[in-house]
Structure 1
């Protein structure tokens, strides 16, 4: 029985025994016929090296890892069928690893864009007539603290009032798993918090709260969704596409800019509150760029 006939037998089994939908069968057919064409029409007789060569070929053609994994899944089911039917004595896909899914790079902002955002927030907070834009002083404190510390948005909006009462360079935040970590506070962040504290304490409804950013919400503090919405508005006024920014993006900017300027990956892991270094390794592209620049600029043989 030739490969084409065995593909047809496999598709018939998938339809009759497993009730595969027409779209599923068409997808299997395309994937198996593509592999068979690469292998000179001898898919049913292929060995592991031949299948691996086909997978390398589709990777070089630019297929996404999800597409590569789907094609390998079709091949696995095809060869399992041949083995179960006694048409082969082995399964060549049994020793092949599935293609690893690529982790998308985190969205971030350039240092220039971040500077524009912070400058806009400061200008709005320090307008002569006070809060020309409602909540401008609070927003300035929020973005300065977020960029200075890299806090998760849930950690930021629920900060206790005591953080602003201590004029210190560091404070302790309780993160995921109730784990405490120490994070830095820049002079600009401390000043923005002091300004917000003055305005906050002038409002009797807010002054009694134990949260730095109180609100009339179920939690008693500023909802993360409200901050995310207001942040997009600030970005738009700073000339930055609002679709490009979120609290999480600003957290990524904090980490990326630290690494770009010489910080150690382990130190960034601790600041972000990642329990596993593998989570922080999404930023290794930043380190690679920095190392390449270092070699190109300082190696005596660099051209």
Structure 2
């Protein structure tokens, strides 16, 4: 099997069997494409089914020499392991050459978070006299109240809002659905947007059920949300590099700091493994340590 055929089959597997998003499929495809490029340059006769553990180790050395950081190398390695699982299922290979391949050691980088004051300041500079402002306030409230990924926000549907019982339903990674509680401030902001502004927008066919729309009646893009958040940060002169995901980090961090159960936070964030959620306990420890240093007389 040549590389292009293998990659096309892998893409179909990721879409149909794993139910991954277009962005995730593209990311996995780029990872395998790099292995294909390595093959063309270093080992021209190498095919997906003839790759050995030694070849993969040489590939990791190659991407390291290209200047890729350990986290990027680890992501590529994850893509390769998934690729060879697919080839095993399809009986293209009899053994998995990536099984014993080790990932580079990663230092866990703690994400930036916003303080409650930062979030209130960002909301305060939104111009609520404009229709876009009403929508943008509802977006910020939703991101922080529910800890949503940006794709979960842009894909959020009116039919999945259960505001009377203070819950929303979202489709996360792998199209896995989960219910998330929503706070009063976010409920109020969303209701104002839906009942007083969105109803006046001429909505494009097929977009009728999406919560957040632009002035032309189309669903918002991820890029728009990123730009809007950056503009709010600039407006309050916030000296942090933030994105929509920063609200998700802040949501989790503030819950942990407030004493929330780690399993409950895992469920609300939609993390498959609790080890992913545990990073917020590290954040909490840093918070506790800084509190001791600041206030303890013997520190």
1:229 matched to 2:227: yes
Kindly tell me: are residues 168 and 120 of structure 1, through their superposed partners in 2, closer, same or farther at Cα, counting changes over 3 Å?
farther
Q: Tell me the distance in 2 between the aligned counterparts of 1:111 and 1:222.
A: 26
1:244 maps to 241
Partner residue in 2 for 1:157: 154
Instruction: Structure 2: give runs of 5+ residues left out of the alignment.
Output: 1-60, 62-68, 71-101
Q: Aligned match of 2:268 in 254, 257, 271?
A: 271
Cα deviation for residue 284 of structure 1 reads: 2.2
- The answer on whether the counterparts of 1:163 and 1:212 sit within 8 Å (CA) in structure 2 is no
Q: Which residue pairs with 1:27 in the alignment?
A: none
* Structure-2 change in CA distance of 1:108 and 1:280 (3 Å): same
With normalisation by structure 2, the TM-score equals: 0.58
Q: Show structure 1 runs of 5+ residues with no match.
A: 1-23, 25-64, 67-96
Deviations 1:198-222 (A, max 9, x none): 20001233697110113489x9511
CA–CA distance in structure 2, aligned partners of residues 240 and 287 of structure 1: 22
CA contact (8 A) 1:164 1:194 kept: no
Q: Which residue of 1 aligns with 2:251?
A: 254
Deviations 1:73-122 (A, max 9, x none): xxxxxxxxxxxxxxxxxxxxxxxx9983211111222222122123333x
State the 1:233 CA deviation.
1.0
Distance change >3 Å, CA 99–CA 177, structure 1 → 2: closer
* Contact 1:164 1:190 (C-alpha < 8 Å) held by counterparts: no
Distance 1:206 1:105, change over 3 A: same
Call closer, same or farther: CA 1:287–1:163 in 2, change over 3 Å: same
CA-CA distance at 1:245 after TM superposition: 1.7
Contact 2:161 2:169 in 1 (8 A): no
Which residue in the other structure is 2:110 paired with?
A: 105
Q: Distance in 2 between matches of 1:179 and 1:268?
A: 16
**SS of structure 2 residue aligned to 1:147:** helix
The question of 1:120 aligning with 2:125 is answered: yes
Q: 1:188 to 1:163 in 2, by over 3 A?
A: farther
Q: Which residue of 2 aligns with 1:138?
A: 135
Q: Which moved more, 1:207-216 or 1:139-148?
A: 207-216
Residues 202, 164 of structure 1: CA spacing in aligned structure 2 closer, same or farther, 3 A cutoff? farther
Q: Please tell me whether residue 200 in structure 1 is matched to residue 227 in structure 2.
A: no
Query: 1:171–1:182: 8 Å Cα contact kept in structure 2?
Result: yes
Distance 1:255 1:144 in 2: 14
Q: Does the residue aligned with 1:212 lie in a helix, a strand or coil?
A: coil
Structure ID, larger Rg? 1
Q: Over residues 167-199 of structure 1, what are the superposed CA-to-partner deviations in whole Å (9 max), with x where a residue is unaligned? A: 331122121112111111111101100111120
Which deviates more from structure 2 when the two are superposed, residues 160-169 or residues 143-152?
Answer: 160-169
Deviation at 1:162, TM superposition (A): 2.4
Which residue of 2 is the match for residue 210 of structure 1? 209
Instruction: Report the 3-state secondary structure (helix = DSSP H, G, I; strand = E; otherwise coil) of the residue aligned with 2:178.
Output: strand
Question: Which range moved further: 151-160 or 170-179?
Answer: 170-179
2:204–2:218 Cα contact (<8 Å) kept: no
For residues 102 and 256 of structure 1, the distance between their equivalents in structure 2, rounded to whole angstroms, comes to: 19
